[in-house]
Amino acid sequence: MELVRSHVLICGGTGCTSSGSQTLMDEFEAKLEENGLSKEVKVIKTGCFGLCALGPIVVVYPEGSFYSRVQKEDVEEIVKEHLLKGRIVKRLVYDETVEDDGIKSLNDVNFYKKQQRVALRNCGVINPENIEEYIAVDGYQALGKVLTEMTPAEVIDTVKKSGLRGRGGGGFPTGTKWDFASKSVNEQKYVCCNADEGDPGAFMDRSVLEGDPHSVLEAMAIAGYAIGANQGYIYIRAEYPIAVKRLQIAIDQAKEYGLLGKNIFDTGFDFDIEIRLGAGAFVCGEETALMTSIEGHRGEPRPRPPFPAVKGLWEKPTILNNVETYANIPVIINRGADWFASIGTEKSKGTKVFALGGKINNTGLVEIPMGTTLREIVEEIGGGVPNGKKFKAAQTGGPSGGCIPASLIDTPIDYDSLISIGSMMGSGGLIVMDEDNCMVDIAKFFLEFTVDESCGKCTPCRIGTRRLLEILDKITKGNGTLEDIDRLEALCYHIKNASLCGLGQTAPNPVLSTLRYFRDEYIAHVVDKKCPAGVCKALTRYSIDAEKCKGCSACSRKCPVGAISGEIKKPFVIDASKCVKCGVCMETCKFGAVVKG
Amino acid sequence: MSNQATVPFKGTAEQEAKLLEVIAKHKDQAGALISVLHEAQDIYGYLPIEVQSIIAKGLGVTLAEVYGVVTFYTQFSLNPKGEYQISVCLGTACYVKGSGDIINKVKEILGIDVDGCTSDGKYSLTATRCIGACGLAPVMTVNDDVYGRLVVDDVPGIIAKY
């Protein structure tokens, strides 16, 4: 193996690729060549570092310098100063890492300090397109151990003891699920992986697949051995082209190395994995719908029981786990159930990856031990809400989840605490909202999503969600009544109780949780006909504060419909009947004289 | 989504040969229909009824079954896309950062609605779910180019580039 003195790690995740990391990679190669450093410095494309807000990210080892928002023009400086002369380009490193006398370790930076990377252990560390790098970090060791030293029952027992629960949202104990499937008697069984990450604003699974695809393959093979299956399917969104490509590369390499396929490790155990592309249907994240879709049909859910562990894919016993759940398996085998169970809380073991987004400074991917409070995530790891605004609520669980208001910011994040406050863990989307977000509008946003994505098979979901949306629409347009709020709430419970699958059963959650914590906002919409956050256009009025207005006419010149009139140097007025509420006047006014409310 | 194709079918013999190859490759694989549809859409750009008929015949399933699957999944399109496909992300992270205003601006400039295509076939507009670039929110894409951290005033300039 060639020896090099420095490594340049460039993030090749979707976030950084979108902000141009491939161009940087080419530029680095070119500039290194130009400066005669190609043999001494190696450029590697890795998975996600997590701090997507600062992408594209470049990390140079051995120093561990964390360069953020690197542009093509900056590359030459990094090559000439840092790699040639050994002087870190302080101008470009993440400013949190800069200390008076040098650069501090990334682990001491607020964003990383409270994180513990288990599922993401290899993301941003190895080149995901090279199996040897995975093997170098103990990859496929767990599979080897399982096949040569453990019985299937011992594997299931270890997973049970670790306390690992499904990371896709439901939180069902993984070991118990495997146990059910192992006890189903059938010649043919299947292991499936749910990579159909459909929650808007969530990209944890994609980052694992892009940054560490082999860990999922290894875990699926382990699961196959445990339940007695020799065929696996990964159902992945077609919207994730980078992840699909890297998974295929990983599968091909694993087969070439004999780590998938026939007679793995000479133990007589066969296991093969195929990729199946989703085609854009949120309901396919539901387990029975996902299996129907792999079978090539419309992805409609089936009634349970029979559960997939008894009759799943092609009516054979099947287990389905989520990507992040699988990513935890090899570490649990290698380091033991006790080690894993020592992380987290009594009933929620291990860590959870969250995609932190919305109104927060450090958007990106974070992995925290269960039991970390929301406050630690938002204020310390996330760096708080930008522009001096106030934290209003965090939304977890996407269209199936609910919101956590500011008053509950000290809630520990684990499965049971979140359920008890009317939200849920979900697959890991965590969207932060500030005072400028209207909670009725957010509920409406999620309902628009579920109405779109309801598969239409059962009536409560197909028709019920549409009625919910209609009532919400009426409220945001200022035509709602107090009875509408009661009707909304009653309908929510009917839909929850009567729907066929998880999509319908959870669809009312965004409404119920906003009603629970922000009922006053709903009431403001129907009684006072006001949107306190100023989001709902029909309820927003623009006016000019006569005391602040200097009469400069800037707003009236910008107004697209000529709704503003007045005399120069005297206060102007807005004609509410003409106003289309575009807000241009407010953006234009230099004196803050235009008010919304 | 409109179920009527808006333009006449212009498939070539070459495209059909490619499609038949794809069908032959997947024919014996269980649950092949969705995989075939993905590849067929890559060949034709969309899935008009003519293409669906070839697939139904090739795989030995009914046209109703094929049509049912095509219309179930949002990735499959019965209409051709524009030369430049504009997608605005309406995932939660982008939405709370104002992507709703971005998409309205695009609609206003192009005079088309979501899932529409301009009459000259140059631009089409879709609203996508999260593309996962939440760190760049709000985000829009034009074919493979990604534009992030947008404000409404950026939109005219971006469209003018194409």
Please compute, for residue A559, the number of CA atoms within 13 A of its CA located in the half-sphere on the CB side: 24
Specify the CATH number of the domain A131-341: 3.40.50.11540
Q: Where are the CATH 1.20.1440.230 domain residues in chain A?
A: 439-526
The alpha carbon torsion through A202, A253, A47, A167 (nearest 10 deg) reads 30
pLDDT at residue B68 is higher than 60? yes
CATH superfamily of domain region A6-112: Glutaredoxin (3.40.30.10)
CA distances from residue B15 to B32, B40, B43, B96 in whole angstroms, order as listed: 19, 9, 6, 43
Task: Specify the domain boundaries for CATH 3.30.70.20 within chain A.
Answer: 541-596
Closest CA relative to residue B136, chosen from A569, A364, A82: A364
Report the alpha-carbon distance of residue A477 to residue A470 in Å, rounded.
11
Domain with CATH 3.40.50.11540 in chain A: 131-341
| Range 512-541 of A in CB contact (< 8 A) with B | none
Q: Where are the domains of chain B?
A: 13-72, 84-160
* pTM across the whole model: 0.89
pLDDT score, position A1: 54
Scanning A294-313 for CB atoms below 8 A from B yields 294-299
Q: Token digits for B101?
A: 């205003």
**Residue A511 structure tokens:** 């409404």
Residues of A in contact with B38 (CB under 8 A): 238, 277, 279
Distance (Å) of CA A172 to CA A77, A92, A163, A350: 51, 44, 10, 14
Please give the pLDDT value at position A540. Answer: 85
pLDDT digits (tens, 9 = 90+) for A551-590: 999 999 988 888 999 999 999 999 988 888 878 888 889 9
* A200 inside 8 A of chain B by CB: yes
Task: Count other Cβ atoms within 10 Å, centred on residue A275.
Answer: 17
In angstroms, rounded to a whole number, what is the distance separating the alpha carbons of residues B159 and A184? Answer: 57
CA distance B75 to chain A (A): 5
Q: Which of A238, A278, A395 lies nearest to residue B92, judging by beta carbons?
A: A395
The pLDDT value given to residue A25: 93
SS3 of B28, please?
A: coil
Check residue A159 and report its DSSP letter: H
Q: Is residue A565 within 8 Å of residue A539, measured between CB atoms?
A: no
Is-contact B33 B59, C-beta < 8 A? yes
pLDDT (0 to 100) of residue A501:
93
Which of A284, A431, A451 best probes binding to B when mutated, by most B CB atoms within 10 angstroms?
Answer: A431
User: Looking at the predicted structure, is the pLDDT value of residue B4 above 50?
Assistant: no
Please check whether the domain covering A541-596 is classified as CATH 3.30.70.20. Answer: yes
Structure ipTM: 0.83
Predicted pLDDT at A350: 96
Per run of 10 residues, the mean pLDDT along chain A (length 597 residues) is: 84 86 93 92 90 89 90 94 91 83 78 92 93 96 97 97 92 96 95 90 89 97 97 92 94 97 96 94 93 95 93 96 97 97 96 93 93 95 93 93 95 94 89 93 93 94 97 95 97 96 94 97 95 89 90 89 90 88 85 86
Alpha helices in A261-411 (DSSP H): 287-294, 323-335, 337-341, 374-375
Confidence of residue B7 (pLDDT cuts 50, 70, 90): low
| Tens digit of each residue's pLDDT (9 = 90 or more) over B114-160 | 888 888 888 999 888 777 677 788 999 998 788 888 999 999 999 99
Q: Per residue in A264-320, pLDDT tens?
A: 999 999 999 999 999 989 999 999 999 999 999 999 999 999 999 999 999 999 999
Which CATH superfamily groups domain B84-160?
Answer: Glutaredoxin (3.40.30.10)
Give the DSSP H/E element, type plus range, for residue A587.
helix A584-588
| pLDDT tens profile A128-181 | 999 999 999 999 999 999 999 999 999 999 999 999 999 988 899 999 999 999
Report CB contact under 8 Å: A201, B135: no
Q: Inter-axis angle of helices A482-498 and A459-476, to 10 degrees? A: 160
Q: What is the pLDDT of residue A18?
A: 83
How far apart, in whole angstroms, are the C-alpha atoms of residue B86 and residue B159? Answer: 9
Torsion angle, CA of A385/A391/A393/A398, rounded to 10 degrees?
-10
Q: CA–CA separation, A497 vs A491, rounded Å? A: 10
> Is CATH 3.10.20.600 the classification given to domain A351-434?
yes
- Rounded Cα gap, residues B49 and B63, in angstroms: 9
Chain B (74-113) residues lying within 8 Å, Cβ to Cβ, of chain A: 74-76, 90-97
CB–CB contact A355 B91 (8 Å): no
Whether the per-residue pLDDT at B3 is higher than 50: the answer is: no
Identify the CA nearest to A383 among candidates A56, A91, A51: A51
Q: Name which of A123, A203, A354, A558 to mutate to probe chain B: the one with the most chain B Cβ atoms within 10 A of its Cβ.
A: A203
SS3 state of residue A118:
coil
**Chain A within 8 Å of B45 (Cβ-Cβ)?**
no
Q: Which residues of chain A does B67 touch, with a Cβ-Cβ cutoff of 8 Å?
A: none
A277 interfaces chain B, CB cutoff of 8 Å: yes
Query: A137, A125 in Cβ contact below 8 A?
Result: yes
Give the three-state DSSP class for B107. Answer: helix
- Is the Cβ of B68 closer than 8 Å to some Cβ of chain A? yes
For the four alpha carbons of B1, B3, B4 and B8, in that order, the dihedral sign comes to positive
Please state which CATH class domain A439-526 belongs to. Answer: mainly alpha
Is the per-residue pLDDT at B51 higher than 70? yes
Residue B6: pLDDT over 70: no
**Pick from A476, A468, A482: which is nearest to A441 by CA?**
A476
